[in-house]
Amino acid sequence: MDKVKILPIKDTNKNLPLSEKPKKKKKNKKNRCLKCNKKLGLIPFNCKCGNVFCSKCRHPESHNCTFDFRAQAKEQIEKQNPTIKFNKINPI
């Protein structure tokens, strides 16, 4: 049999500047409660203010929610119950 030379693999990234080197993938952050920093399980609670909370901190009163629930409810009621304007009746 013929002898085959095995050459080591050269790292081509050594000569590249730091900005062009391939970056390592970052690990995904574990979801944590914004208030108590507790790890969230299978069911994270998304609040209307845009944050994620645990089961204890999920209520708006417990995490001082900045979302305006009153304005949202008022807007929703206005959409569901449109005002009806009648034409004026001309007297005879």
Domain ranges of the chain: 30-72
| 30-72 is a CATH 2.60.120.620 domain | no
Check residue 70 and report its DSSP letter.
Answer: H
- pLDDT number for residue 13: 60
Sequence-ordered list of residues with C-beta below 8 angstroms from that of 59, at least 6 positions apart, any chain: none
- pLDDT number for residue 1: 58
- pLDDT number for residue 11: 59
List the chain residues with pLDDT less than 70. Answer: 1-2, 7-23, 25-29
Give the pair of three-digit tokens for residue 74: 């008022």
User: Alpha-carbon distance 23 to 35, whole Å?
Assistant: 32
Sequence-ordered list of residues with C-beta below 8 angstroms from that of 34, at least 6 positions apart, any chain: 51, 52, 53, 57, 63
